[in-house]
Amino acid sequence: MKNAYRLAATIALSIGCAMVRPPARSVAGPAPGQILVGCDSASGKDSSELQPIYGVIKPDLVRSQGVWWKTLEPTSGAYNWTAFDSMLAQNTVTNFANFGADHALLTNATQPIIMFNVILPPAFYTNSQSTYIAGECAFVQALLRHAPHSIQIVEFINEPSGGENWVPQCTNDQQIAVFTAQLAMAVRKAIQAIDSTVKIAGPSLSNPYDDGFFSVFAANGGFGACDIVTFHDYRMSGTYSNAPTFTPYQVEQSFPDLAACAAECKKWAGGKPVCVSELGLGTPENTIAYCIAAKDCGIWALCPTYFLGTATNLWECGYWDSRKNTPKPNGRAFLTTMRVVATW
């Protein structure tokens, strides 16, 4: 089957073909042997994002990280949903048939699952752990009441490991892991009080392999509170121009290959779905390899990090046309390739 995946991907790279989108899937996950392919959410600030996001990637899952908690709650207990509403409206697929011919690819788009990442807490909640936990629980409940049935997954934290500068009352990763587990359990209880269908994802580690964090997080009930396990993986692309890339089969930056990373998650989380909620794009060849490796080790979903603008990985790889604000032909083939391999 691996050869079939590679053949399909090679064909996609050569012709940049458009694929027929499979039926929409529930949060329960894709069909056996398939992967949910997602991306960053549209920001709500620029309608031209709709074409590159939904027209090219046609994501099954979008992860919203661009609307920060501290933006939505400028003062304690007082919420300003303007930025969130704009983001949500732009990621809610409606009336695509009304777009012009240059948006023709959008007519096949269906509503993706939306994962909301709680990132960048207000400063007034970072003085103590109890204040932080109470503040986030109130925030997610207010969010779900404000937009009922619009968010399917809440990723309750972002890259806590190494966050001694912002995680309250913590001086090392073990303390952060304990706090993160306590936060996960509290947020789960808060969310289920509003909407029991919403799933909880985490702990959203920056490193896909961290036995020390995972073991402490698991021992303190963190994985029991999560429906989906998330981590980030940028081995395929650096965070700066011309950074070195690595394949998912290589050991890099003190963590092993992708299969071992997935096994680590499943070991501590009891086989729960695993999502790479931030995935560096890398080269087309490495993307093909990553999708194959992810399928082979049973990863549930991939969310390529796809920041639109001058900092995007597509831009750095030379795949983005800044004048038209769309992928170049090779960028379009690159994104199509990911869909081909992931849904083959």
Domain boundaries, the chain: 38-304
Distance between CA 39 and CA 62 in Å, rounded? 5
Instruction: Report yes or no: 47 and 53 within 8 Å, Cβ to Cβ.
Output: no
**Of the candidates 307, 247, 323, the residue with the CA atom closest to the CA atom of residue 283:** 247
Per-residue pLDDT of the chain (344 residues), as tens digits, is: 444 444 444 433 333 333 323 333 345 555 545 667 666 666 666 666 666 556 556 677 888 877 899 999 999 999 999 999 988 887 776 544 443 333 333 334 567 788 999 999 999 999 999 999 999 999 999 999 999 999 999 999 999 988 788 899 999 999 999 999 999 999 999 999 999 999 999 999 987 677 789 999 999 999 999 999 999 887 766 444 455 566 666 666 566 788 888 988 999 998 899 999 888 766 667 777 788 888 888 899 888 765 443 344 455 556 666 677 666 666 666 666 666 665 56
Distance between CA 75 and CA 138 in Å, rounded? 13
DSSP state of 97: G
Query: How many Å separate Cα 344 from the centre of its chain?
Result: 21
Distance between CA 58 and CA 306 in Å, rounded? 13
Give the number of C-alpha atoms closer than 13 A to the C-alpha of residue 210, restricted to the C-beta side.
23
Distance between CA 95 and CA 98 in Å, rounded? 6
Give the number of C-alpha atoms closer than 13 A to the C-alpha of residue 17, restricted to the C-beta side.
12
Distance between CA 91 and CA 106 in Å, rounded? 12
Q: Which residue has the tokens 């892991």?
A: 177
CA angle 230, 233, 237 (to 5 degrees): 155
Distance between CA 212 and CA 87 in Å, rounded? 36
Q: Which CATH superfamily is domain 38-304 in?
A: Glycosidases (3.20.20.80)
Instruction: Report yes or no: 131 and 125 within 8 Å, Cβ to Cβ.
Output: yes
Diameter of the chain by CA atoms? Answer: 56
Q: State residue 87's pLDDT score.
A: 84
Distance between CA 196 and CA 194 in Å, rounded? 7
**Of the candidates 330, 271, 275, 279, the residue with the CA atom closest to the CA atom of residue 305:** 279
Distance between CA 205 and CA 162 in Å, rounded? 10
